[in-house]
Structure 1
């Protein structure tokens, strides 16, 4: 049974090939407004490929992606981001020579239309926008526990702290859809709990989240719905308790 909310993101028969190898084959599902949906599957099942297709980092070979009813298939990543879809990456992407705070402010520089309007309206408007952005950045850094190191260059952060910084930068422009690619990978158990709480709090505030994660405890604890991929095909879509007992899912993970 699907939520009684409009789908904000629709994946329709998504297909992607690499040199004759099928990475995704006719994958379809919807992400509903305010939903926390996890996309899981064994290594090589196509999860990150799907993320890259949705966000414009890979060209789609078949099917389409709709965002709020608009076809965004094969748009450039910056255009998709400006429409309201923001993501993290498996390989953490921050600016190492910039401070933590500068990384946060850089995340909103993509809004060139707003910057152009500000320049047209004059210096006072620019200062107001800069002040507002700095306030929001510090609020988010405080939320993830990094405000006390805001003047530190990102290269001096631990791996877990850089994951938190990337997570916070994604939130800066207040996106409609937040896509998180393995946010708990490579971090300590305490940091996993920390990250899980942040994701849950965002969802309770009404944020729409699509999560790729290998940590099954985290996935089962926080997901409202789970989609499972195996060899590039969707093999399950349902509530966590149903997916956990699905024979196709058990076979994909355990071979029996």
Structure 2
């Protein structure tokens, strides 16, 4: 299986704050990988670097064998890469359905809208059907007519995922998709993400919800203080020295029991 994404010795600082200090890892085609670590360890910065929102200082980032670390976000996105954000901001004057339609990469610009051809009408119909399917799949059909800014925080997360999927990505990066999602929707969201992965989309998921990680991810990459400290299965997290130290600053001999009790690592693995 080939690597769709490669990070090699990636560094990034903000002033005197060294956020990434030599991050390296591979993501293989078709994987569903959890990207974990304590708050402030650099997880979101890694996603920003991959997608062109945050230029790196040293190292390299490759997608399917080609360097992308010097590309702007729209050129990275053109390589079938999509991402979501921790706190998605939605427009107040567009409905949920309109936001989803606007996210399509198949729709044409103003000229095609003013002078539609048979082909553009066909594309429009396909786009509407794709949007309808995603609204159903992500349990947003009932709010499709509402202003996108008025729905709940969890629904905005779901809409962000739906918008990313409208771009038909081969690599999807999710920044804490479970945060703010109602408990009743979490099981459904896990099912949806696994289904997306089974359809051939490679997923990298930043997440603190260990139940989600244990139930969905075959592999976990753990960051701490801007570096990679573990690359293992979810079941190995609880006893991994680097992981326990990252979360509690102690060794596994003294920290495993408290770590499990906190529900931070290993509670459901």
TM-score by length of 2: 0.87
| Residue in structure 1 matching 2:127, options 104, 129, 133 | 133
- Comparing 32-41 with 187-196, which one deviates more in the overlay? 187-196
Contact 1:235 1:248 in 2 (8 A): yes
Question: For residue 44 of structure 1, what is the aligned residue in structure 2?
Answer: 40
**Equivalents in 2 of 1:95, 1:123: separation in Å?**
29
Question: For residue 212 of structure 1, what is the aligned residue in structure 2?
Answer: 206
Question: For residue 148 of structure 2, what is the aligned residue in structure 1?
Answer: 154
Question: For residue 264 of structure 2, what is the aligned residue in structure 1?
Answer: none
Question: For residue 258 of structure 2, what is the aligned residue in structure 1?
Answer: none
**Equivalents in 1 of 2:157, 2:86: separation in Å?**
9
1:80 aligns with 2:76: yes
**Equivalents in 1 of 2:141, 2:31: separation in Å?**
29
**Equivalents in 2 of 1:186, 1:149: separation in Å?**
17
Question: For residue 183 of structure 2, what is the aligned residue in structure 1?
Answer: 189
Structure 1: give runs of 5+ residues left out of the alignment.
Answer: none
Question: For residue 124 of structure 1, what is the aligned residue in structure 2?
Answer: 118
Could you say what the CA RMSD is over the residues aligned between the two structures, in angstroms?
1.9
Q: Number of paired residues?
A: 249
CA-to-partner distance for each residue in 1:11-39, whole Å, 9 max, x for gaps? Answer: 11111011122100111111111100010
**Equivalents in 1 of 2:85, 2:92: separation in Å?**
16
1:93 aligns with 2:89: yes
**Equivalents in 2 of 1:25, 1:117: separation in Å?**
47
Q: With a CA cutoff of 8 Å and minimum separation of 6, indicate the structure with the bigger relative contact order.
A: 1
Q: Which secondary structure state, in structure 2, belongs to the residue aligned with residue 83 of structure 1?
A: coil
Instruction: Report the alpha carbon displacement of residue 118 of structure 1 after superposing the two structures with TM.
Output: 6.3
Question: For residue 242 of structure 1, what is the aligned residue in structure 2?
Answer: 236
1:59 aligns with 2:52: no
Instruction: Report the alpha carbon displacement of residue 155 of structure 1 after superposing the two structures with TM.
Output: 2.1
**Equivalents in 1 of 2:151, 2:47: separation in Å?**
26
Question: For residue 10 of structure 2, what is the aligned residue in structure 1?
Answer: 14
**Equivalents in 1 of 2:150, 2:14: separation in Å?**
37
Q: Which secondary structure state, in structure 2, belongs to the residue aligned with residue 210 of structure 1?
A: strand
TM-score by length of 1: 0.91
Contact 1:53 1:74 in 2 (8 A): no
Instruction: Report the alpha carbon displacement of residue 194 of structure 1 after superposing the two structures with TM.
Output: 2.3
Structure 2: give runs of 5+ residues left out of the alignment.
Answer: 251-269
Q: 4+ runs of 1 displaced by more than 6 Å? A: 116-119
Instruction: Report the alpha carbon displacement of residue 162 of structure 1 after superposing the two structures with TM.
Output: 1.2
| Residue in structure 2 matching 1:232, options 192, 206, 226 | 226
Instruction: Report the alpha carbon displacement of residue 217 of structure 1 after superposing the two structures with TM.
Output: 1.6
CA-to-partner distance for each residue in 1:174-206, whole Å, 9 max, x for gaps? Answer: 101010000011222222222212111111222
Question: For residue 252 of structure 1, what is the aligned residue in structure 2?
Answer: 246
Contact 1:118 1:125 in 2 (8 A): no
Contact 1:237 1:243 in 2 (8 A): no
- Comparing 52-61 with 235-244, which one deviates more in the overlay? 235-244
Contact 2:6 2:61 in 1 (8 A): yes
**Equivalents in 2 of 1:241, 1:116: separation in Å?**
52
